Structure 1
């Protein structure tokens, strides 16, 4: 077994603190990665504080992992020692159901195996995440990090990046389309960059004009203030696609009114309570309301390669592991532009 240092939550009320545990030795198809950077996702906070229920403690969060390969099993063909590699939100799946066979492991019909706060296929081992110095993952769920991407700023691509890329890709967003991104946070700022690189005309919809200049800097063509009824009314029926990244309670119907005939509104945010959708927000103009998760491994690699081609990474604030509890509090307040990333060198000091 491999001894590993980490930061973990011992229960839902405790701050994250130093923790030690063991990873398995690499098997024939495994890749051992020295973790260099790990992004801080809002879902890390939700799970560490057991806000979604079913948390497994002690818990080492983190599923936006970038590091350097240090060992590989004798059957590994895709990676070698020294390669830059990444691990996202899942580390395995059943691999045999229709979704898995189609490369949609995120929708595994048995259960995809999450990177942390989940049990491995043996039903006993509790997976621990990327707020740690090393991880061992089957090569089928390891991603190649392109050499021209800053590894720290690339880490959030493994969740925030693919969460926004997957619906844009699935609904074939491209040149000539008008796209709106609701919310300009960790997800929203990636949605703006990706949609713009796909050739769309991109509008950010934010509750206030506080982030207008930042939205334009990130590549948005326009900004709408959702609290301004006149601005919203002027955009009715204008958009082909709306990416809703908001995790707070909000009025979906106000955004559905902005769609053209046959337009799509796709939710990737995860509000705590149900959102109301009025039937006549959809029926008259054959509009669609959908949800989307992360992508499968193949699509995630496509996203990383797309980002490499277009020079896209996340806007980050690099922190030490010792700052993670303060980062969680700032995350609750929305005080980050736009993603915290932990420098795991701080764990080794």
Structure 2
């Protein structure tokens, strides 16, 4: 038995997303069935839909920032009940037994995590389909509790944009007395500012646009440095303990490395491949500085992040859209014309049934 689902899918790299009907598996004993209410739109969705990472298998139903209500649970599920508000992020399974999984770092699963869309289900070999759809069936180990203190619409992007910035801040123990800089003010960058400030750090935004200063301060920045101004960059030399770099395309890391203190770390959360221009070894060696990377976050730390957000009233700044607007939203994303994340209202599927 399977569940017939309405959604939107890309069928090739060059065609728009269109209505699509597909099947979800019949729930297993440890599964949670979730009626999706809202799904954030991540730039990764666009990359995948257009095969920009050269691994997409079509048709693909994107979406990995899902918020919804539980409509059914399997016989072995005790943590969730019908009616609970829950979330599903970038992963829906992992091997559960490797060294990474044992540490609660399922995103680094040695055997490879099963992602919310475009992956093969570890048990039945079926392709996974994401949150641009009305319902999903997920193992209870990968379902997250959403507090009633959080607005579910603006909480949806926390499942990717939120955890992607939270995880490195926590891993490198950012808190009071930390001096943090965030590079880029987009879906990830604006969450980085909010989290770093809430954790007690002194926060600076690096930006190429002078017009973003007021917005950056609204989001938590104590300072704004114009990265295109050599004098401002020189004045920032040796200032920061930690740089959170959210820019998803190639850019010169050397000017930012010069602003790190001894033992400072520059963390990449955008997939920048290859890193060009070349990083100057002297920038690293003479300050014992590090360049590191971070990938989303594990399930336990994602729940920690959601609970922190509920306690501190933190959500993502969003623009709500209908499912039928997704192709226009992608074009606007390419122009950075969104503050700061699109979120799909899945009730809009009823306006144009697949």
Name the TM-score, length of structure 2 as normaliser: 0.97
Work out whether residues 247 and 272 of structure 1, in 8 Å CA contact, stay in contact via their aligned partners in 2.
no
**Structure 2 partner of 1:287:** 289
Which of 325, 334, 351 aligns to 1:323? It is: 325
**Structure 2 partner of 1:152:** 153
Work out whether residues 91 and 115 of structure 1, in 8 Å CA contact, stay in contact via their aligned partners in 2.
yes
Matching of residue 54 in structure 1 with residue 49 in structure 2: no
1:204-243 mapped onto 2 (5 Å cutoff): 204-243=205-244
Matching of residue 110 in structure 1 with residue 78 in structure 2: no
1:199-348 mapped onto 2 (5 Å cutoff): 199-275=200-276, 276-348=278-350
Matching of residue 99 in structure 1 with residue 127 in structure 2: no
RMSD of equivalent CA atoms: 0.8
Paired with 2:124 and 2:4, the residues of 1 have a C-alpha distance of 21
**Structure 1 partner of 2:122:** 121
**Structure 1 partner of 2:67:** 66
**Structure 1 partner of 2:91:** 90
State the Cα distance separating 1:271 from its structure 2 match: 2.5
**Structure 2 partner of 1:165:** 166
**Structure 2 partner of 1:34:** 35
Work out whether residues 30 and 76 of structure 1, in 8 Å CA contact, stay in contact via their aligned partners in 2.
yes
State the Cα distance separating 1:272 from its structure 2 match: 4.4
- Map Cα deviations across residues 251-310 of structure 1 (whole Å, 9 max, x no partner): 101000000011111000112433322111100111111000011000000000011111
1:173-188 mapped onto 2 (5 Å cutoff): 173-188=174-189
**Structure 2 partner of 1:44:** 45
Deviating above 2 A after TM superposition, structure 1's stretches of 4 or more consecutive aligned residues are 271-276
- Map Cα deviations across residues 187-212 of structure 1 (whole Å, 9 max, x no partner): 00000000000000100000121211
Work out whether residues 263 and 287 of structure 2, in 8 Å CA contact, stay in contact via their aligned partners in 1.
yes
Paired with 2:77 and 2:15, the residues of 1 have a C-alpha distance of 39
- Map Cα deviations across residues 139-194 of structure 1 (whole Å, 9 max, x no partner): 00000011100001000000000000000000000001110000000000000000
Matching of residue 132 in structure 1 with residue 136 in structure 2: no
Paired with 2:125 and 2:91, the residues of 1 have a C-alpha distance of 17
**Structure 2 partner of 1:142:** 143
**Structure 2 partner of 1:75:** 76
Paired with 2:275 and 2:116, the residues of 1 have a C-alpha distance of 27
Paired with 2:216 and 2:77, the residues of 1 have a C-alpha distance of 42
Paired with 1:288 and 1:274, the residues of 2 have a C-alpha distance of 14
SS in structure 2 at match of 1:210: helix
Paired with 2:93 and 2:20, the residues of 1 have a C-alpha distance of 24
Paired with 1:133 and 1:270, the residues of 2 have a C-alpha distance of 29
State the Cα distance separating 1:123 from its structure 2 match: 6.2
Work out whether residues 115 and 128 of structure 1, in 8 Å CA contact, stay in contact via their aligned partners in 2.
yes
Paired with 1:166 and 1:135, the residues of 2 have a C-alpha distance of 25
**Could you list the runs of 5+ residues in structure 1 that have no partner in the other structure?**
none
